[in-house]
A and B are shown apart, each in its own frame.
Chain A
Amino acid sequence: MFYLNFIPDSYLLSVINAVLLASVIGLLIGFLITFIPWLRPYRPLINIISTVLLALSMYFKGSYGADMEWRARAEELKKQIADAEERARQVNVRIETQVVEKVKIIKERVNDNKKSIQVQKQVINADCVIPDVARVLYNNAVDNEISGGTGESDASSTEVRTTKSK
C-alpha cells in the first residue's frame, strides 16, 4: 500500500472511518426502508452501495493498520541502529584515548630509565665489558621475527648467527 505514504495519516484515517460509518448507516437505512413503502424501490441500490463501501472501508482499515505497524517497527529499528552506532563511536573514542594515554606513560618511563642509565653509566660499566659472543646471542634473541612483510628495514646487523633461531 505504497500510495498510503503520500497522504497524511490523520486525514487518511478520518476518511476511512467516515466511509465505514457511512456504510454502516447505509445498511441500517436499507433495513429500515422495509417499513417505508414509498422508499422500498431504492432498498437494493442502498444495500449494494453500503455493502461495497463497507467492504472497501474494512479493506483500507486493515491496510492502514498493517502499514502503521510496519512504520512503527521500522522507526524502532532505526532508533536501535542509531543507538548502536553512537555506542560504537563512544567505544572507539574511549579506547583510542586510553591507548594514547598508556603509550605516552610508557614512553615517559622509557625516557626516565634512559636518563638514569646515563647518570649511572660509570657505575654500571665499572669492570664490565660485553664479549662479542654475548652481543651476538643477545641480537639472536632480539631478531626472532618469523613473518616478513612491509615494515622498517633493519640494516644494522650483518653478522652470521652463531646459533639457529627456533
Chain B
Amino acid sequence: MRPPPKLEQLSLSDKELSDLLTNANENYGKYHELREKYLAWQEWYREQKEIYEEVK
C-alpha cells in the first residue's frame, strides 16, 4: 500500500495566473483520484463485511 501523493505548492518562480491554474488543476486531480480510492475502500469493506456476516 502506497501513501497518497502530496499536493503541489507554487514555487517562487510561479507568478502568473496560468501557473496558479495549472497547479490547482494538478492538485484537484489528485484530490479526485484520492476520493475515488477512498470511496472504493469503503465499498470494498462494506461488501466484504456483508459476505462475512452471511457465512459467520
Q: Please report A residues at the B interface, Cβ cutoff 8 Å.
A: 80-81, 84, 87-88, 91-92, 95, 98-99, 102-103, 106-107, 109-110, 113-114, 117-118, 120-121, 124-125, 128-130, 135, 138-139, 142-143, 145, 149-152, 154, 156-157
- Nearest Cβ distance between residue B33 and chain A, in whole angstroms? 5
CA distance A107 to B36 in the complex (A): 12
The answer to whether residues A154 and B6 also contact, given A84-B51, A130-B15 and a CB cut-off of 8 A, is yes
- Asked if A130 contacts B19 (CB within 8 A), the reply is yes
- Asked if B20 contacts A138 (CB within 8 A), the reply is yes
Q: What is the predominant secondary structure among interface residues of chain B facing chain A?
A: helix
- Nearest Cβ distance between residue A30 and chain B, in whole angstroms? 54
| Sampled A-B contacts (9; CB under 8 Å) | A95-B47, A103-B36, A106-B29, A110-B28, A117-B25, A135-B14, A138-B20, A152-B3, A156-B11
Most buried by B among A106, A121, A157: A106
Chain B residues closer than 8 Å to A154, beta-carbon distance: 6, 9
Specify the chain A residue showing the minimal Cβ separation from B3: A151
The answer to whether residues A124 and B9 also contact, given A92-B44, A95-B44, A110-B26 and a CB cut-off of 8 A, is no
Please pick, from B5, B15, B43, the residue contacting A152 in the complex, using a CB distance under 8 A: B5
- Nearest Cβ distance between residue A39 and chain B, in whole angstroms? 63
Chain B residues closer than 8 Å to A106, beta-carbon distance: 29, 32-33, 36
Specify the chain B residue showing the minimal Cβ separation from A81: B55
Please pick, from B3, B8, B23, the residue contacting A150 in the complex, using a CB distance under 8 A: B3
The answer to whether residues A91 and B9 also contact, given A81-B55, A117-B21 and a CB cut-off of 8 A, is no
